[in-house]
Structure 1
Amino acid sequence: MAKDGTARGGPRPGTGPKRKPLVEKLEAGNLEGATVFPIPDDLEGWDMPPVKEYMKARQKNGKDLVAPQIYKETWEWLKARNCEKIVNPQLLEEYAMAVSRWIQCEDAISEFGFLAKHPTTGMATTSPYVNMAQNFQKQMNNAWYQIYQIVRENCSVAYSGPNPQDNVMEILLNRKG
């Protein structure tokens, strides 16, 4: 409590010791503070929720978004780790759309270049697609970190190996050719 009566200070979010993944807690036998959900033998997997129409919309340039493909790959990756039920579908949609928009901006940069003509001075300036691509990439990474953190903290099986984030550049490069 500060002298003026307001509650300020205290621990900041994200400080302190990092949480251990559930897999490490299970291996160490230390389940203090861990919630482990039993997996019944007759567990049926969910089908992937349908991809929303706005993710399939044809773009002004005539190309299709890759959002449905990213959404499906990410869903399958989560399902393989039994985490598809604990990740919010809106977070998956946000990730898929950010990846798709980033790829769309990269296509535009390849087509129009890194420079543009300033509207008032006529001088060369950075293409707006460069800034948009950086913003979408930041959104994409933030959404992925949230998804990955959920999997890391709740997955009771090893979550190593390739993940959908690894395939993003491959998708971008395949669209060029």
Structure 2
Amino acid sequence: MPEFERFGPFEDAFLIEPRRFGDERGWFEEVWNAERFQSLTGINTDFVQDNASRSSAAGTVRGLHFQAPPRAQAKLVRCPRGAIYDVIVDIRHGSPTFGQWAGASLTEENGLQLWVPRGFAHGFATIEPESEIAYKVDNPYSAEHDGGIFWNDPAIGIRWPLDTENAVVSKKDRDAPKLAEMPKLFEYKS
């Protein structure tokens, strides 16, 4: 895999494999480099907040979340401990990929990161117990602009790597609207 590659059918989402340098002591990797990211993707971003979460049980689902304009967020997501299946869904009305999804396994071992652009809902399922997720965002959290869509909306058809009947899901995520019920918050700009 190249260090940066487009993710799924999306022109502005990227799967990133940081370079790891290892020896008998372990390894070192550069997790974020703004200059390199911009030179390889054309995206210039300033992160303003780092977040982390830990999920105790395998089969825990968090998402599908987004933050609406004018406080929309782009995210850089990684899994420094354990393993997750990370998913994004294009929720930009007018986009040629509206309602489409893509997913990838982010693990402690593979070190992969996912760049989630603004206008995408994001969620993940834990594959291993005690999984930790760390992500950078380019806009601070705003409860007023916090939103989500139903994590298992059949119209989207995400193929989660778990028994969806027994998934550990918060009430907020279980009660989130389906994509067809969501207001037009994001417009696609080509």
Q: TM-score normalized by structure 2? A: 0.23
**Which structure exhibits the higher relative contact order, with contacts defined as CA atoms closer than 8 Å and separated by 6 or more residues?**
2
Higher helix share: 1
Higher strand share: 2
